[in-house]
Amino acid sequence: MRLGELWNLIIQGNSGITEKAFIQSELESFMNSNKRREMIQAKEYYKGNHDIKKKVRSTVDELGQAFILQNLPNNIICDNRVDDLVDQKTNYLLSKPIEVQSDVDLDDVFNMSFMRKLKSVGRESIQCGIAYLVPYFDTQGKLQFKKLRSENVLPFWADEEHTELDAFLYWYDIELYSVAGVKNTLTKVEYYTPSGVKYFTYSHGQLSDDTSRLSQSHYINGNVPTNWHKIPLIPFKFNEYELPIIRRVKTLQDALNTLLSNFADNMEEDVRSTILVIKNYDGEDLSNFRQKLATYGAIKVRTEDGVAGGVETLNIEVNASNYELVLKLLRRSIIENGRGFDARDDRMSNNPNQMNIQSMYSDIDLDANDMESEFQASLELLMEFVGEAMSLNADARFVFNRDLPINQADIITNCKNSVGIISKETIIANHPWTLDTEEELKRLESETQELDYVGGEQWDTGKNEPND
């Protein structure tokens, strides 16, 4: 059921639930959902807070119950490959400012501040599967866009394809001090609908009206309460299904961390790498035995009932080559499943040609193509809000400049070989040293005119002598 249809039933009193009860139910459901937990987990993994941090050394007692061993090495090693994948994709597509082509001047909107925010949105969408921008006006009345935390946004989609919105919820926590000086956390909830914004607070499992803020329109336009023509939320998806990168690589990342940590544990267990077989030891307390062995480096044995005392060893070898092989396979699998690239790939050695570079980046291009397609649709929606805010009826074309390494020698050679086959403008546009095609053409024209004059005398083009 579309949310708009549900609202009609709520207003008519035929839905069986009030609007506030509906909001609370949906809010609590999303707060405790697996989707939101995955978003939070993805951000934590990017920061390096992996499940390996919970690692302990344990065994089973005589009753079959697990208990933690306190006297064993417990290394916690995190070889974070998730942040590599996220940063690779973000910088590959969004490290260079996108080019905005339009008949009107949009530099005030799509400035470097916006480009930085768009890059942040890209990083969030890769981590969480989707990110959001909200249009608003600052104190000077200038149109701005605010990035919301994806895990705190609950969109109510109007269609199965998740292209249109009926409404959305956004919540955030604030800290308040009571009269007694006790600090408490209060959750503020904002409910955006086509008719405006309603404000609530959520505390102790109860949604209440926010008495400090009255319901209002989306924004004020010249002292006139005004609503946007659409729900003011612009989603930016990582892919069509809004799946985060962590879904592909979490188990591989956990396996890599576990293997590294266990290897370090085994290498540090120097005493336990050799099992001691003790005969007629002078005492039965093994803890006392370990203590004396560590302190004096020697033990006392005796002969009893004709059996000579002694100590024999059973050595346990840690095969590092086995660990190294599995670690290499795991790291390769993370790159392949996460569709990233290995900067130490053999194809990048010995002055690689452009085909090798493109081959190495083929996987990351798959995600970049999906991401660019989704972002183009989002920027098209964003332009609707820009047009409404600035009273413009203008279209804009957005060109993404991917940060792909190039072999400059190959490209420069191809540019030289293309002279006379394609236009000078096309050759200059594709030259690796060109920053601005139009500006470079003007410089060439200026230099050509200067060469036509020598010592103040004009030279006839194509001749070796000045004109008479």
Write down the pLDDT at residue 468.
45
The span from the CA of 390 to the CA of 293, in Å, is 82
Distance of CA 357 to the CA centre of its chain: 24
E strand or H helix that includes residue 31: helix 19-31
* Strand residues in 316-463 grouped as ranges (E): 396-399, 453-454, 457-458
In this structure, the strands spanning 274-279 and 58-60 are unpaired
Q: Smallest Cα–Cα separation from 367: which of 335, 402, 339? A: 339
Is 111 among the domain residues? Answer: no
Domain boundary among 291, 315, 339: 315
Which residues sit opposite 457 in a β-bridge? 454
* Measured torsion, CA atoms of residues 398, 96, 244, 147, in degrees rounded to the nearest 10: -70
Q: How many domains does the chain have?
A: 2
Q: Smallest Cα–Cα separation from 207: which of 5, 34, 36, 19? A: 19
Q: Which two tokens stand for residue 333?
A: 């699998």
The span from the CA of 282 to the CA of 459, in Å, is 109
Quickly tell me which residue has 């001090």 as its tokens.
Answer: 177
Is 163 among the domain residues? Answer: no
Neighbours of 191 (CB within 10 A): 22
In this structure, the strands spanning 66-68 and 206-209 are unpaired
The span from the CA of 433 to the CA of 428, in Å, is 9
Contacts of 403 (CB under 8 A, 6+ apart): 91, 92, 93, 95, 96
Q: Smallest Cα–Cα separation from 51: which of 249, 329, 258, 330? A: 258
Is 303 among the domain residues? Answer: yes
SS3 content of the chain, % helix, strand, coil (to 5): 40, 20, 35
Whether the CB-CB separation of 256 and 250 falls below 8 Å is answered with no
Flag whether the pTM goes above 0.85: no
Domain boundary among 315, 340, 369: 315
Helices 82-94 and 362-390: angle between axes, nearest 10 degrees: 60
Is 41 among the domain residues? Answer: no
Write down the pLDDT at residue 369.
95
Neighbours of 83 (CB within 10 A): 14
Helices and strands counted in the chain (H then E)? 13, 18
Burial of 246 (0-12, 13-18, 19+ CB in 10 A): buried
Output the CA torsion sign for 411, 412, 417, 423.
positive
The span from the CA of 55 to the CA of 301, in Å, is 39
Domain boundary among 259, 287, 315: 315
Is 403 among the domain residues? Answer: no
Is 296 among the domain residues? Answer: yes
Per-residue confidence in pLDDT tens, the chain, 468 aa? 466 666 566 655 566 788 899 999 999 999 999 999 999 999 999 999 999 999 998 887 777 788 888 878 899 999 999 999 999 999 999 998 898 988 898 999 999 999 999 999 999 999 999 999 999 999 888 999 999 999 999 999 999 999 999 999 999 999 988 777 888 889 999 999 999 999 999 998 999 999 999 999 999 887 889 999 999 999 999 999 999 999 999 999 999 999 999 999 888 876 555 566 667 666 556 666 666 665 555 666 677 766 777 767 656 666 778 889 999 999 999 999 999 988 776 666 666 666 667 777 888 999 999 999 999 999 999 999 999 999 888 789 998 988 876 656 777 888 889 998 999 888 888 887 887 777 888 888 888 877 665 555 554 544 454 554
What domain range is 291 assigned to?
Answer: 274-315
Is 182 among the domain residues? Answer: no
Alpha carbon of 204 to those of 144, 166, 186, 211, 462: distances in Å?
34, 28, 9, 17, 87
Is 121 among the domain residues? Answer: no
